[in-house]
Amino acid sequence: MSMSTLVETRDAIRLKQVSSREWVRKSLARIERLEPQLHALVSYDGDRAMAAGQTIDDRIARGEAVGELAGVPIILKDNLCTSWGRTTCASRMLEKFESPYSAHVVERLKAADAVIVGKANLDEFAMGSSTENSAFGATRNPWNTDCVPGGSSGGSAVAVASGMAAGSLGSDTGGSIRLPASFCGITGLKPTYGRVSRYGLVAYGSSLDQIGPLARTARDVACLLKVIAGWDLRDSTSVHEEVPDYPAVLDKPLGGLSVGYAEECFGEGLDAEVRKLAEAAIEVYRAAGAQVRPVHLPHLKYAIACYYVVATAEASSNLARYDGVHYGLRAAAPKDYVDVYCSSREEGFGAEVKRRIMLGTYVLSSGYYDAYYLKALKVRTLIKQDFDRAFEDVDVIAGPTSPVPPIRLGEKVNDPLAMYLMDVYTVSANLAGLPALSMPCGLTGSGLPVGLQLMGKPFAEDRLLRAAHEYQTHTDWHTRAPAVSEP
């Protein structure tokens, strides 16, 4: 079964074939029907969304110019600040937090006249690979509600896959956009570090975090990226780099596309069905005339260890502010000022967040900094150099997004190391600051989606999206939708 894409939705509204208000009503009806089953959202505001849709319809009726995404229903991951409602990060720590300002990407969406319907569930503070770590309950995969949707942007992916919204935004620190995109059978992009402003994103790992779009197709993702990308004075890590018209370049001939595949991404631990589907996807490129050749990423085997030192060290630092005094939940009856800190953090943070804070504090502590954190930074440089060399020979590197299909709820929740290994193919793009995309490339025998990951050169999102679009012109996996999304 296929569903309307973001572009189809936008064009239908713009041509007055359907009103924004009608489309928003359809989104809200689907949320009402599916949310008890899927738990994709932390919050939504139907009255606010309907009013926004009406405003767009009125402007179109008057013949006024409207924005790039006029009237299109969009959902935000709930670690993106909004000046209305709550921004919880799916944590008890921020359960009642109301931001005084909106994130840069939220301002960009509003300027483009998108209708923001609600805020999506996530692993607490974006720490997880399954969206089971939310303080408000796990999100379920619409293809099989006994399975996880991936994480940490699981709610954002489920919202798109189930038709609650035409597109969504997530954040990606080590695969948190791409893994849910893979598990939910949609397209998701982590842009180059610095391509999209992180202003208003609640920080997890500041040198790794990046905001990106999730939608059904590469064209949809290109439209969202065009709106949110670009320099922002308020984020010192955002880059003064020209933003191409991503949708406009999609149909340009790629001209001698070269696709690399790394043997290191097809090794131990890779599920047989995932391997078969990923290899078949790469053959689609070969059949379409692309040059397909092997590349080598010798330090990829150290990526998970490197990532979980760097990311947890940055998390330990970033989450120090949530202490019951400056920010967040405060323990009800502390015995003294030390207990304010201890009890507030004990009550406010979940188990996985505590685990990562402790690990990060350890690797930064006196006597261990050189042995762990400094060494991880050196390995990070080696991983980036591997990619630099590989991209001298190829335009994109293709491989499986995840080593396994969607896992069952609870399957790995008590085995952190097994859970961390689900990110084995995704964390390297964050460590190297590269753009990377996941798109659907097939279904397993039991009907679960599998994603193909494409990684590109820094700030070459245009070529990456063109490569993804090329694949989607030869296949129809991106048109498939779970049965649960039927009207």
Q: Which of the residues are catalytic? A: 77, 152, 176
> Phi and psi at residue 105, in whole multiples of 5°?
-65, -30
CB of 214 closer than 8 Å to CB of 157: yes
Token output for 455? 């990684």
Region of 126 please: left (phi>0), alpha (psi -120 to 50) or beta.
left
CA distance 105 to 212: 9
Return contacts of 137-140, CB within 8 angstroms, 24+ apart.
Answer: 137/39, 138/39, 138/409, 139/38, 139/39, 139/40, 140/37, 140/38, 140/39, 140/409
Burial class for 364, CB neighbours closer than 10 Å (0-12, 13-18, 19+): middle
Residue located via tokens 């590349």: 295
* Residue 320, CA distances (Å) to 110, 352, 357, 366, 386 in order: 32, 15, 9, 17, 34
Burial class for 198, CB neighbours closer than 10 Å (0-12, 13-18, 19+): buried
Q: Which DSSP state fits 34?
A: H
DSSP codes of every residue in 392-406: TT-SEEEEESSSSSP
CA distance 481 to 190: 22
CB of 126 closer than 8 Å to CB of 352: no
Please measure the distance between the N-terminal and C-terminal CA atoms of the chain and give it in whole angstroms: 11
Determine the 3-state secondary structure of 408 from DSSP: strand
Q: How many CA atoms lie within 13 A of 96 on its CB side?
A: 6
Determine the 3-state secondary structure of 460 from DSSP: coil
CA triple 190-194-200, angle to 5 deg? 85
Task: Indicate the length of the chain as a whole number.
Answer: 487
179 beta partners: none
CB of 89 closer than 8 Å to CB of 132: no
CA distance 47 to 53: 10
Q: Kindly give, in sequence order, each residue whose CB lies less than 8 Å from that of residue 453, ignoring residues fewer than 6 positions away.
A: 178, 182, 398, 399, 400, 401, 425, 426, 436, 437, 438
